[in-house]
């Protein structure tokens, strides 16, 4: 059984600790992750900007990287969902279309993999903090990952989960949107952080480092002390404590 890690470029370059937490956490449940080093980026920046030819180039490296995997697991709902666009990108190319359908079927976001595939909701973690959860748009709305993270969080000993007001509102990242429409994006992230502050949570947890990078960047800009973590990090740290 070959279970491969689709690290995503952001976790690879900026947040390697998220990948490490996933690897160690899954190893504790008997899943030895494989890491195909030829993988690059899912191609979402170019896809969303309308550059589909460039996207096909990125997509092909991903399709090749995971061709022989039985399961692919990724720390991002957004990058996982991007794979669901691959069949549309290669609809006129039978060779790549076949690989695209396969990858779509075998790729899971981290919590999907834990809950749906492994059947685990309790990893035995202890994390005695007040935590609020931001459901990223692509993961929750497009990929449909809504219950899995809550199921995992509710099993963590000592953790107090406080609801985030307007949780389902976008944090304002949107990839190149944050650069092209920086003031609109800025207004959105400021409001998201206002809501996080209202919860008085010590920790903000999520499933997508892009959104979390955006929110963490604004928290730090405003001098706020809220700790920002990927759920994999939180669970791994919680297992280490217990």
Residue 70 lies near another protein (rule: CB under 8 A):
yes
Question: Mask 82-111, x = binds another protein (CB under 8 A)?
Answer: ----------------xx-xx--xx-----
Query: Minimal distance in Å, beta carbon 128 to another protein?
Result: 25
Q: Which is nearer to another protein, 107 or 199 (CB)?
A: 107
CA atoms within a 13 Å half-sphere pointing along the CA-CB vector of 209:
21
* 122 counts as binding another protein under rule CB under 8 A: no
Contact with another protein (CB under 8 A) among 91, 154, 160, 184: 184
Which listed range, 145-153, 188-196, 198-206, 232-240, lies at the site for another protein (CB under 8 A)? 188-196
**SS3 annotation, the chain:** CCEEECCCHHHHHCCHHHHHHHHHHHHCCCCCEECCCCCCCCCHHHHHHCCHHHHHHHHHHHHHHCCCCCEEEECCHHHHHHHCCHHHHCCCCHHHHHHHHHHHHHEEEHHHHHHHHCCCCCCCCECCCEEEECCCHHHHHHCCCCHHHHHHHHCCECCEECCCCCCCCCCCCCCCHHHHCHHHHHHHHHHHHHHHHHHCCCEEEECCHHHHHHHHHHHHHCCCCCEEEEHHHHHHHHHHHC
Q: Which CB atom, from 159 or from 173, has the smaller least distance to another protein? A: 173
Least distance from C-beta 165 to another protein, angstroms?
11
The nearer residue to another protein, 54 or 237, going by C-beta atoms, is 54
Q: Count residues contacting another protein (CB under 8 A)?
A: 91
Interface of this chain with another protein, residues 29 to 58, rule: CB under 8 A? 29-33, 35, 37-41, 43, 45-55, 57-58
Out of 68, 128, 197, 242, the only residue in the binding site for another protein (CB under 8 A) is 68
CB of 221 to another protein, least distance (A): 5
């Amino acid at each position: 059984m070959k279970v491969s890690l689709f690290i995503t470029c952001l976790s690879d370059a900026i947040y390697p600790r998220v990948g490490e937490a996933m690897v160690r956490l899954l190893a504790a449940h008997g899943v030895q992750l494989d890491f195909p080093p030829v993988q690059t980026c899912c191609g979402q920046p170019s896809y969303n900007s309308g550059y589909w030819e460039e996207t096909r180039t990125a997509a092909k490296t991903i399709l090749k990287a995971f061709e022989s995997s039985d399961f692919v697991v990724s720390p991002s709902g957004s990058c996982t969902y991007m794979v669901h666009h691959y069949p549309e990108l290669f609809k006129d190319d039978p060779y790549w279309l076949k690989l695209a359908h396969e990858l779509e079927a075998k790729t899971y976001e981290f919590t999907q993999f834990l809950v749906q595939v492994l059947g685990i909701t309790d990893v035995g973690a202890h994390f005695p903090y007040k935590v609020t959860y931001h459901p990223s748009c692509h993961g929750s709305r497009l990929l449909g990952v809504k219950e899995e993270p809550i199921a995992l969080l509710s099993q963590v000993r000592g953790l107090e989960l406080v609801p985030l007001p307007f949780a389902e509102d976008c944090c304002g990242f949107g990839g190149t949107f944050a650069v092209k429409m920086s003031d609109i994006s800025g207004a959105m992230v400021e409001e998201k952080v206002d809501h996080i502050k209202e919860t008085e949570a010590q920790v903000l947890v999520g499933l997508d480092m892009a959104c979390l990078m955006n929110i963490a960047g604004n928290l730090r800009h405003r001098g706020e002390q809220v700790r920002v973590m990927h759920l994999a990090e939180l669970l791994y740290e919680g297992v280490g404590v217990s």
